[in-house]
Amino acid sequence: MPTRPPWFYGVRPDDDAPADTDRLLVWLARRQWRSLLAGACFGIPWMLSVALVPAAVGRAVDDGIVARDGRALALWSLAVLGLGAVSAAAGNGRHWFAVKNWLVAAFRAGVVADRAVRRTGPALTRTMPAGEVLASFTSDFGRMGHTFDVFARFMGAVVSFVVVAVILLRGSLLLGLIMLLGGPLLVGSLAFVMKPLQRRQSAQREEAGRLTALGADTVSGLRVLRGIGGEDSFLARYRAQSQTVRRAGVRVAGTQATLDSAQVLLPGLFVLVVTGVGAHLAVDGQISAGQLVAFYGYTAFLTIPLQTAVEMADKLITTRVAGRRIARILATEPDHAALEPTGWVPPDAALVDPASGVTIEPGVLTALVAARPDDTAAIAGRLGRTVPGRHGVTWGADALDDLPLADVRARVLVSQADPRLFSGPLRGALGGPDDDARMASLAVADADDALAAVEGGMDGEVEERGRSLSGGQRQRLALARALLRDPDVLVLVEPTSAVDAHTEARIAGRLADQRKGRTTVMVTASPLLLEHADVVHLVVDGRVAATGTHRGLSRADARYRAVVVRGEED
């Protein structure tokens, strides 16, 4: 049986989120229209049942108390209880779907943004400040769900407002017109506050992103700052940017406070107007006592839908501000052309890169050599995408049906030239089944000194990005980590570029022995590594120009010698 998750994390592999704020919101809404509709189906009866309570109370006054009819009073009292029960039951369902809609929208936004980050790579931080990207992942996704959270209540507010307006029109044309015209005018007047609020929120987010980027850059270069005595300079820059963020926040707070107070003031004024007109009509005898009670109840209730409408507008502003930043992430183009997965390849089949003509035979140690490292790095990236389901590649293709997902993920591993080590115990950073396997891989990578450099050995803590280690030590630990994964196909991009020649020679021999009979690809121009390769491909202008052994190509191909020997033959 195939192993495939039933939900695809909320986003199908072929989904392409639009890089536009409003279209992105519509795109998210279309993918959860069922839960939005279900929320509205609970939100409408929830608020409508509250809206009808004044009508039931008014009838109880007129038909029961004024008419001295105990049966009618009991009947309308039961109606009030029934409306309360409906409100309680529908309120539970509305809240459940509100939370679900909020979480699903936020998670989907996070998934599509994460895909975009993986697709664009370093191009993203050249287009946007790193702090702005970080702010999106820490706060914007939650804000993307705010509008979806309020949607059910907003639909209930709209329907209940219309129903109450119709009831008032039937009881008093004047009161009904005040409701139908005054309510939308009050909400529309808030546009004078909402537009400045949106601009100021955007400015405050941008300044906060710059502050985050400044802090992140400083942490990564703290040792250099201390070495050159730059702490005071950084502190001054950080203090100045912090004050800029504070001032932007104060500007946002003033506008936000105006909007929040308007949510109370404007509906309150509306209630006073409707109540005053209703009282005047009751004194003139145009409406009954029960209708006056009902009208007062309506006006008290109307603060709820009006405040909900204002909240909806406020949340929509917040969502659009967050969506604008996510849309910028989605709109960023990678530095390289998209690398399409070529499908699952059986373990005993050759890997073929049609774009370059490179063929990787199974069980062979193959090397790729090019004068331009970008050419061979691109080939390595495409080889790493021959199996759907790998890190950064969508999955769910037909080729996956006959293969368990755990097997797919173990097929191909690409170890890049710039390895990253995460903070935490070294044992966990390396992985592997046990310490014996870890020590064996460290021996192959000639990383004994790297192990000794970590205080506490296997139980010692690796600092973030392995800052306490040299570049060569980090590279060798990354090589040991890759070997411990024991993939069917291992692609190593410049695995020894940061080590000396003696260390490189030891690694080359041990690596060839350890991976003997396993499919291994090395992207390198080092003669020490190439000497141990079974097959070497020379790549010129992105295409295979020659194939052979290291010694054979060294004798027969001047282009190969120019790349590998680098003039040392003289």
What HEC string does 314-363 produce? HHHHHHHHHHHHHHHHHHCCCCCCCCCCCCCCCCCCCEEECCCCEEECCC
- Tally the residues of the chain: 570
pLDDT at 466: 62
pLDDT at 524: 92
Which of 126-140, 333-347, 371-385 comes out lowest in average pLDDT?
333-347
Task: Choose among 207, 161, 177: nearest CA to 312.
Answer: 161
pLDDT tens digits, 491-516: 998 888 888 888 999 999 999 999 99
Indicate whether 397 pLDDT > 50: no
Measured in whole angstroms, the distance separating CA 539 from the mean position of its chain's CA atoms is 37
- Alpha-carbon distance of 357 to 15, in angstroms, equals 31
Which of 152-166, 291-305, 326-340, 520-534 comes out lowest in average pLDDT?
326-340
pLDDT at 544: 92
Token duo for residue 169? 């029109």
Indicate whether 569 pLDDT > 50: no
- Alpha-carbon distance of 253 to 96, in angstroms, equals 31
pLDDT at 533: 94
pLDDT bracket for residue 348 (50, 70, 90)? low
Contact criterion met (CB below 8 Å) for 106 and 145: yes
Token duo for residue 179? 């409701």
DSSP-derived letter for residue 145 is T
Three-class SS of residue 523? strand
Contact criterion met (CB below 8 Å) for 289 and 282: yes
pLDDT tens digits, 183-207: 677 766 766 766 677 677 777 767 7
Domains of the chain, start order: 19-331 (1.20.1560.10), 351-564 (3.40.50.300)
Indicate whether 536 pLDDT > 90: yes
- Percent of the chain topping pLDDT 90: 13
pLDDT at 365: 94
Three-class SS of residue 138? helix
Residue with tokens 């690694």: 507
- Alpha-carbon distance of 469 to 455, in angstroms, equals 11
Indicate whether 415 pLDDT > 90: no
Task: Choose among 245, 306, 244: nearest CA to 274.
Answer: 306
- Alpha-carbon distance of 43 to 104, in angstroms, equals 18
pLDDT tens digits, 275-328: 777 778 777 777 776 777 777 777 777 778 877 887 787 788 788 878 888 888
Indicate whether 148 pLDDT > 50: yes
pTM of the entire predicted model? 0.53
- Alpha-carbon distance of 24 to 323, in angstroms, equals 7
Contact criterion met (CB below 8 Å) for 165 and 180: yes
pLDDT bracket for residue 395 (50, 70, 90)? very low
pLDDT at 406: 37
Mean pLDDT of the chain: 77
Mean pLDDT, rounded, for 28-54: 89
pLDDT tens digits, 227-264: 555 567 777 777 888 888 888 888 878 777 877 777 67
pLDDT at 531: 93
Between strands 351-353 and 358-360, the pairing is antiparallel
